[in-house]
Amino acid sequence: MPPDFPGQAFDLRRSFARMIFSAHRRAKNKAVDLFPRKVFQISNDWAPEHAVSTTAIAARSIADIFVDYGHSLVHRARRHVLERAFPSQPIDETSADSAAIETVRPNTHNKMKITFARAITAVALFLFASCAQQPLSSIDRSKYKTVALDPDIKVPEHYIYRDITGKRWRGLGGGLIGLLAGAASEGPGFHRFDAAARKNPVDIRAVVRKQTDNALRSSQLLKVVTANADTTLKVEVQAYGVGPVNGRELGGIIAAHATLTGRDGKEIWNKDEWANSETTALLEKIEANPSLWPKMANEAAEALAKKLVLVTTKTGRTVAEPFM
């Protein structure tokens, strides 16, 4: 039966709106609570130890983005409906529901910025733009005469294991599902490789430092000194480990970023490079001969140092394809 007067209509609209908002809020809270836990459960169940740092961060970031964006849409939609349902009535900002609009919205926007940046960082390796990079020989050598290699080379805490099966899964599945499926397929292989690599551990920081120093000295672009240098070369290893280099055969791979700074700390030159070893082998062969791992790491570091220091032509910035 239609209402007899505007007051009744207003009360009906208020009751109806409250009923919808209450049900929607319960559903939203359930989704917000359930979605991230399900993603984490999947990532923890599927991802091997070596992939947690990449896969779990990506899963968490994507989950956060969906949840935060949902928060934003819910509160904007709620305000819009309130204003349309009760055009002559101000929104009660003291109520719990209405206050949530004002308290959650700024937090949501800030959190979305953070989680979006975190997600972009997690997939940065996949989104390297191919652009020209200047060689080290392009610097003004009339101004800079000496160089010191910063001994504090940053390296990741863990090495990476990739194989051809995981690579195919990532290419086939795409997105988060491809990452999780690839990580799951590589789990057993990682544990086998890790067991072999532990028998011949590699100090990747020392290996990269040695090969970079050798390349600097052989280039004769700048005189290598230990103190009071015109420039300082800093190297940051972004990823290292093994991956499919020759079909199913694995090879050592290292990706790094190098920066040359002046006495004032200002950047003069930088370059991103990756390289793989000449030596490749099936996982079974590495298990039978664990000394192959240090050999692969040393060869990859030597090839990387040559790319960073000795190449005298412009090069394109590319991703470490075996790690894809």
Question: Are the C-beta atoms of 51 and 183 separated by less than 8 Å?
Answer: yes
Chain segment 217-264, per-residue pLDDT in tens: 999 999 999 999 999 999 999 999 999 999 999 999 999 999 999 999
φ, ψ (nearest 5 deg) of residue 290: -60, -15
Mean pLDDT, the chain, rounded, equals: 75
Type of residue numbered 21: F
pTM: 0.62
Tokens read off for 259: 């920066």
Distances from the Cα of 34 to the Cαs of 29, 42, 207, in angstroms? Answer: 8, 12, 45
Per the listing, tokens 């000449």 go with: 278
Distance (Å, whole) CA 113 – CA 107: 10
Tokens read off for 72: 């934003």
Q: How many helices and strands (H and E) does the chain possess?
A: 8, 8
CA atoms within 13 A on the CB side of 145: 3
Strand partners, 251: 243, 280
Domains located in the chain, CATH noted: 6-122 (no CATH), 132-323 (3.40.50)
Mean pLDDT: which of 82-91, 100-109, 263-272 is highest?
263-272
Distance (Å, whole) CA 143 – CA 203: 35
Stated length of the chain: 324
| pLDDT greater at residue 234 or residue 322 | 234
φ, ψ (nearest 5 deg) of residue 283: -60, -40
